[in-house]
Amino acid sequence: MVFDHKRRMMTEQIKRLAEQASNTSDYGLECVTDKFLEHFAELMVIEFTETVKQTANELAESGFRQGQSEEEVMKTVNGALAVLKGIVAKFGVEE
């Protein structure tokens, strides 16, 4: 049940990004061009990087609330930031 809700939410978010990217085309979603695909891909990567940043912040807050040491929190946060670094390197985006 929760999985279905999350999947619907994800689908809606992807549709929203596709519609936003389609604004670069005079024909909307009916005409998928290279420009559309490029813009859509950029929007997806931005969403991915922002999600990783948010997750790193949430991990830090949660760790401190749970009484973890700064060293323990930093290990966890550094793991999330390594993912961010990999996305940036792989897709050539700026943070």
Q: How many domains does the chain have?
A: 1
Whether 24 and 37 have beta carbons less than 8 Å apart is answered as no
Residue-wise pLDDT for 69-80, tens only, equals: 999 999 999 999
Rounded to an integer, what distance in angstroms lies between the CA atom of residue 69 and that of residue 11?
38
Question: Which residues span the domain enclosing 49?
Answer: 2-24+33-91
What pTM, to 2 d.p., does this model score? Answer: 0.64
What pLDDT sits at residue 54? 92
What pLDDT sits at residue 67? 96
How far lies 95's CA from each of 11, 30, 41, 92, in Å? 25, 32, 16, 10
Whether 62 and 54 have beta carbons less than 8 Å apart is answered as no
Residue-wise pLDDT for 9-39, tens only, equals: 766 777 777 777 777 656 555 666 777 777 7
The torsion of the CA quartet 52, 54, 55, 57, rounded to 10 degrees, works out to 130
Residue-wise pLDDT for 46-85, tens only, equals: 888 889 999 999 999 999 999 999 999 999 999 999 998 8
- Is pLDDT larger for residue 38 or for residue 94? 38
Q: Which CB contacts under 8 angstroms, 24+ apart, belong to 54-60?
A: 55/80, 56/80, 56/81, 56/84
How many CB atoms are closer than 10 A to CB 21?
21
What pLDDT sits at residue 65? 95
pLDDT > 70? residue 4: no
